[in-house]
Structure 1
Amino acid sequence: MSGKFEIFLAKNNEFYFRLKAGNGEIILGSEGYTTKANCHKGIASVQKNAPEINRYEKKTSDSGKYSFNLKATNGQVIGTSQSYKTESGRDNGIASVAKNAPDAKVVDLTEAS
C-alpha cells in the first residue's frame, strides 16, 4: 500500500494536507492555506522536494524530542513532521516521506462523497 495526501478543511476555514504512509500513519503535515488551489500547490512542492535529502531540516526540541521540516528551494517550510522519541525514528520518518511523497495519490476529504 502506498502513501497518500489527504486534503481537509479545518475549523479555521483553512485547507491543510497531511501525508500518510501506507500503514496509515501521518508522516507530514502542512501549514494552513486560504484556498484549495494553494493547498494543491503545496502538495506538488512536497512531491518535487521530498526526494532531495538536503531539503530536510532536522530539529531537536529542548525536551529532547526530534522532528523535521521539509523545505522548498526558496527555504520556505512546506511540511512538518510529528515529534519522535529518537533520532533514528526521525530519520526513518524522513526516509518515509522521501519514499512515499513523490507518487502519493491525493484524496480530497472536502468533496462530498
Structure 2
Amino acid sequence: MSASFQLKKSVDGQFYFSLRAADGLSVLRSETYTTLASARNGIESVRKNAGTESRYAFEKSANGKSYFNLKAANGQIIGSSPLYADPNGAKQAADTVRHHAATAPVHDA
C-alpha cells in the first residue's frame, strides 16, 4: 500500500483529511473545513506546497515533543504532523509528505 489521503467527516459535520504513510500511520492532518470542497482544496494545497522544503516549520510542543506544520505560500498552516518523541521522527514524517503527497490518491472514508 502506498501513501494516501483519507478524507473524513467529523461528528459535528465538518471535514478534514490526513495523509497516511504506506504503513497506515498518519503523518499529516488538516484543520477542519465546513465544506467537502474546501477540504479537497486543502488537499490540493498540500500537494502544491509539500515539495518545497521552506514550507515546513519544525516546532516543539510544551511537553518537549517534536512536530511540524506545513504552510502555504501565504504562511497559513495547511497541515500538522503528530507529535514525535524525537526530532528525527518529525523529519522522517516530513520526508514522507514531501515525497508522496503530490501523487497520493484520495480515499473518502
- TM-score of the superposition, structure 1-length normalised? 0.93
Gaps of 5+ in 2: none
Cα root mean square deviation, aligned:
0.7
Q: Report what 1:12 is aligned to.
A: 12
Matches within 5 A, 1:29-68: 29-68=29-68
- 1:104 match: secondary structure: coil
* Runs of 4+, deviation exceeding 2 Å: none
1:10-35 Cα deviation digits (max 9, x unpaired): 01110000100111110000000000
- TM-score of the superposition, structure 2-length normalised? 0.97
Gaps of 5+ in 1: none
* Alpha-carbon distance in 2 for matches of 1:89, 1:18: 17
Matched residues, number: 109
Percent identical? 42
1:62-102 Cα deviation digits (max 9, x unpaired): 32100000000010000010000001111111101101111
